[in-house]
Amino acid sequence: MFRKGHHPRAFLTRRRNVKRGLTVRSKIITTLEREPLDAKSLAERVGVSYSSILHHLHLLEAEKTAVKHPKTRLWKLTGAGQQRLIDRLVQYEGE
């Protein structure tokens, strides 16, 4: 079905998941895991158009996976959404 390289948080519950969209959202999420960024910087780092980045950020926002800070306009990930199994195991061992 889909390649293994897609981030678990890239899957949407309210929309159809298309390979290209999953790939772009996976890149966005992986980049935002490192640091919060604005949409323009995110577009440059991911290598996707600004409008496409905004589209996918708004999809992630609707899923409550990403949120935009109103004053700084930086996007960051929330704790919502599916996690990678390895992240969950590390979290479990720390408890």
Domain edges within the chain: 8-94
Task: Look at the chain and count its residues.
Answer: 95
Mean pLDDT, residues 64-81: 86
Report pLDDT digits (tens) over 32-62. Answer: 989 999 999 999 999 999 999 999 999 999 8
Q: Which of 51, 11, 15, 48 lies closest to 31 in space, CA to CA?
A: 48
pTM score: 0.74
Q: What values do phi and psi take at 43, rounded to 5?
A: -60, -40
Pair of tokens at residue 94: 């720390």
Residue 2 is predicted with a pLDDT of 45
pLDDT at residue 83 in the model: 54
Torsion region of 49: left, alpha or beta (phi above 0 gives left; psi -120 to 50 gives alpha): beta
**Domain with residues 8-94, CATH architecture:** Orthogonal Bundle (1.10)
